[in-house]
């Protein structure tokens, strides 16, 4: 199942996702503690989103700057994959390490910083399911 069919749907999805992520204490802290700019370069359909966690923390929680396309700061880390692989990773159906080894996910940039995102791996599936449900209800 594809998360979205085009860049407009991707923007809506990521806005909902980041709102939910920011509302989850552990997830927002893990992202903020990474202190990096993370870029998802998605294929089929092609789209790009950057999440700037360097300036993400405010007294009210996580408020990352989000950039679509080529806008925004230089990413510290870029993850390239198809939308289907992103869906499998975030739903918990696929392991990130296996996806990297098999070449389903390509990672470029400061790979050592990627370890800072490991705490998010156990949290994302529940946030993803909530996000997907809200996203689908908005599309209906």
Backbone phi, psi, residue 138, to 5°: -70, -30
Q: pLDDT digit string (tens) for 28-46? A: 888 888 888 999 999 887 8
Give residue 57's pLDDT: 54
Residue 48 lies in a domain: yes
Range of the domain at 39: 7-135
Question: Domain tally for the chain?
Answer: 1
Contact 40, 79 (CB under 8 A): yes
If one compares 136 and 140, the residue with the highest pLDDT of the two is 136
Residue 19 lies in a domain: yes
If one compares 104 and 16, the residue with the highest pLDDT of the two is 104
Residue 60 token pair: 């009210």
Q: pLDDT digit string (tens) for 69-118? A: 888 899 999 999 998 999 999 999 999 999 999 999 999 998 888 888 88
Choose among 73, 89, 83: nearest CA to 124: 89
Residue 131 lies in a domain: yes
Residue 2 lies in a domain: no
Residue 75 lies in a domain: yes
pTM score, two decimals?
Answer: 0.86
Residue 115 lies in a domain: yes
**CATH number of 120's domain:** 3.30.1050.10
The overall average pLDDT reported for the chain is 85
Give residue 58's pLDDT: 52
Residue 140 lies in a domain: no
């Amino acid at each position: 199942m594809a998360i979205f069919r085009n860049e407009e749907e991707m923007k809506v999805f990521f806005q909902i996702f980041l709102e939910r992520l920011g509302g989850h204490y552990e997830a927002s802290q893990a992202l903020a503690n990474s202190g990096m700019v993370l870029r998802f370069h998605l294929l089929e359909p092609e789209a790009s989103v950057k999440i700037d966690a360097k300036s993400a923390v405010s007294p009210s929680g996580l408020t990352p700057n989000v950039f679509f396309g080529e806008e925004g700061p230089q990413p510290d880390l870029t993850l390239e994959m198809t939308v289907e692989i992103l869906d499998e990773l975030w739903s918990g159906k696929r392991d990130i390490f296996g996806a990297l080894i098999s070449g389903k996910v390509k990672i470029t940039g400061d790979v050592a910083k990627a370890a800072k995102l490991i705490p998010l791996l156990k949290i994302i599936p529940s946030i993803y399911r909530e996000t997907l449900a809200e996203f689908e209800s908005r599309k209906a």
